[in-house]
Amino acid sequence: MLEVMGLNAGYGEIQILRDLSLTVEPGECVCLVGANGAGKTTLMRSLSGLLRPVGGSIRFDGQELARLSAHDVVTRGVALVPEGRRVFGPLTVRDNLEMGAFRHLWPPNKEKGRHDGFGRDLEFVLTLFPRLRERLQQPAGTLSGGEQQMLAIGRALMTRPKLLLLDEPSMGLAPLVVKEIFATIRALNAEGIAILLAEQNARMALRTASRGYVIAEGRIVNSADTAALQRDPAVQEAYLGF
Ligand SMILES: Nc1ncnc2c1ncn2[C@@H]1O[C@H](COP(=O)(O)OP(=O)(O)OP(=O)(O)O)[C@@H](O)[C@H]1O
Ligand SMILES: [Mg+2]
């Protein structure tokens, strides 16, 4: 489904990702574990068209994404839930979700009408996150951290992704809320949405995903099914605090 080959990316003269390759198969939940500054966000930004790679390829369902705009990547079925949520604080929860649905709203589809599928997608998100339903008219900036993370995931789901990229969804959240978010990730994966999950919380990520990659200094240094990674002494020492 997703096949990243020999990806090189960075900022100006600074190279961050080095010859990075990974795959995600349809319906899979794959995690990306790495320390601060390892390059997880840089990879997520490259995959979602926010950062143009210098070299290598990103194939998704047989199509090359590496040179597409962020908007075109979304329309191909890849949605990013960015690090730090990035919800639009002054806008209501409903407006934030509607912005996620721009794939259906823009360019306007005159034949089918503006709201084609919107109501159904909104219902899906509000059923998944009942707390958002209670807060539809509330400014997003007044939500708790966990609720903002739910909104960020909901906004991405409004684009009907086939692959969801989650960048540190547990960041800054209390343990109970983290559990809730990871339960949601499992539920979405069970619905058939493929997931690539970048996390510093290696423990939760390795429990949730079926396969994982370890990234260090912009390179993939280890990859295996998550059961094997959890038993790996190097992974235990570096990321699980053994
Ligand atoms: N806009 C930028 N300009 C220059 N360097 C950057 C920029 N953004 C990130 N970097 C550098 O790229 C490297 C990788 O950062 P990145 O954000 O991808 O790491 P990360 O694995 O997501 O870390 P974290 O777990 O802290 O989120 C870091 O050394 C960082 O300083
Ligand atoms: Mg990051």
User: Is the CB of residue 16 below 6 angstroms from any atom belonging to ligand 1?
Assistant: yes
Region 27-56: mean pLDDT is: 96
DSSP assignment of 170-185, as one string? TTT--HHHHHHHHHHH
The pLDDT assigned to 238 comes to 92
The pLDDT assigned to 226 comes to 97
Q: Ligand 1: which of 15, 18, 40, 47 to mutate, judged by most atoms within 8 Å of the beta carbon?
A: 40
Among the residue ranges 22-36, 102-116, 165-179, the one predicted with the least confidence is 102-116
Identify which ligand lies nearest to the alpha carbon of 33.
Answer: 1
Contact 213, 32 (CB under 8 A): yes
Give the chain's mean pLDDT: 92
Distance of CA 56 from the midpoint of ligand 1 (Å): 19
pLDDT over threshold 80, residue 28 = yes
* Nearest alpha carbon, ligand 1 atom 30: 37
Distance of CA 37 from the midpoint of ligand 1 (Å): 5
Identify which ligand lies nearest to the alpha carbon of 218.
Answer: 1
pLDDT over threshold 90, residue 118 = no
DSSP assignment of the chain, as one string? -EEEEEEEEEETTEEEEEEEEEEE-TT-EEEEE--TTSSHHHHHHHHTTSS--SEEEEEETTEE-TTS-HHHHHHHTEEEE-TT----TTSBHHHHHHHHTHHHHSS--TTT-TTTTHHHHHHHHHHH-HHHHHTTTSBGGGS-HHHHHHHHHHHHHTT--SEEEEE-TTTT--HHHHHHHHHHHHHHHHTT-EEEEEES-HHHHHHH-SEEEEEETTEEEEEEEHHHHHH-HHHHHHHS--
User: Is the CB of residue 37 below 6 angstroms from any atom belonging to ligand 1?
Assistant: yes
Token couple for 76: 């191909």
User: Is the CB of residue 200 below 6 angstroms from any atom belonging to ligand 1?
Assistant: yes
Region 82-105: mean pLDDT is: 84
User: Is the CB of residue 171 below 6 angstroms from any atom belonging to ligand 1?
Assistant: no
Closest atom, ligand 1, to C-alpha of 83: 27
State what percent of residues in the chain have pLDDT above 70: 94
Name the residue among 36, 128, 126 with its Cα closest to residue 83: 36
The topology under which CATH files domain 2-240 is Rossmann fold (3.40.50)
Q: Ligand 1: which of 41, 48, 81 to mutate, judged by most atoms within 8 Å of the beta carbon?
A: 41
The pLDDT assigned to 241 comes to 83
